[in-house]
Amino acid sequence: MIFDILTLFPGMFDSPLRESILGRAIKQGLFEVRAHNLRDWAEGKHLTVDDTPYGGGDGMVMKPEPIARAVADLRQQSPAAKVLLMTPQGVPFKQQHACDLAREENLIFLCGRYEGFDERVRQTLVDEEYSIGDFVLTGGELPAMVMIDAISRHLPGVLGSSDSAETDSFIDGLLEYPHYTRPAVFDGMPVPDVLLSGDHGRIACWRREQQLLRTLQRRPELLEEVLLDAQDKKALERLRKELVPKE
């Protein structure tokens, strides 16, 4: 997989994706991150990439021509490349998108600064438009890195087998159960007895229940979407009563 990025700040992509797991995967040739400076496709003495908005108003708008030239150049290498626009108005990026986008050969990320892109960029050059959540950032670079991180861990060989993307608990739509390691008592707080019992059936049951409890407490809306078996439903019913006692 090749991730091409069009940005005014290509240097931002140098470090975060090249550490740890993804850094090793890049060294192994499992994927590539190519950050390009949009100004390389700008014209005129000042290499202008933005201009004032038609109709007036604050801020500047990213001009369409440099972006169109850049996308055309990158598409010469791989005509099927999917172009993704990073904007606060985009579809909220989810785990399923990460999984689906990992099947592509080449993704081109368009990262904006200023107020945003000329609308005709969206109309003619863009395949999909994403936001990473309802908070305001200073540009699309961090969102692109977040998406590249989430996508690349689905590529074959990037994760070790003990940490595979398919066993992520987010896949089954619930939050994770709590984890513990040594010491058995830390600052007066013991590890739950069941985890020391060696009874793998009871441990699995406790963990599932903890997942349901945490999801109920923190992200109840996730329970609407998730597939639950009869045992889950029974446990959830009991947890709901314990959480919201009657009277």
Burial class (CB in 10 A: 0-12, 13-18, 19+), 207: middle
Nearer to ligand 9D3, 25 or 151 (CB): 151
Q: What's the closest the beta carbon of residue 16 comes to ligand 9D3, in angstroms?
A: 16
Q: Rounded distance, CA 113 to CA 50, Å?
A: 9
Residues that bind ligand 9D3 in the complex, under the rule CB under 6 A:
86-88, 112, 115-116, 131-133, 135-140, 143
Catalytic residues: 88, 115, 153, 168
Nearer to ligand 9D3, 116 or 158 (CB): 116
Strands 185-186 and 189-190: antiparallel
Q: What's the closest the beta carbon of residue 165 comes to ligand 9D3, in angstroms?
A: 22
Q: Rounded distance, CA 112 to CA 122, Å?
A: 12
Nearer to ligand 9D3, 59 or 157 (CB): 59
Cβ proximity of 117 and 59 under 8 Å: no
Q: What's the closest the beta carbon of residue 47 comes to ligand 9D3, in angstroms?
A: 21
Nearer to ligand 9D3, 132 or 213 (CB): 132
Q: What's the closest the beta carbon of residue 86 comes to ligand 9D3, in angstroms?
A: 4
The two structure tokens encoding residue 153: 């861990």
Beta strands in 112-192 (DSSP E): 116-117, 128-131, 185-186, 189-190
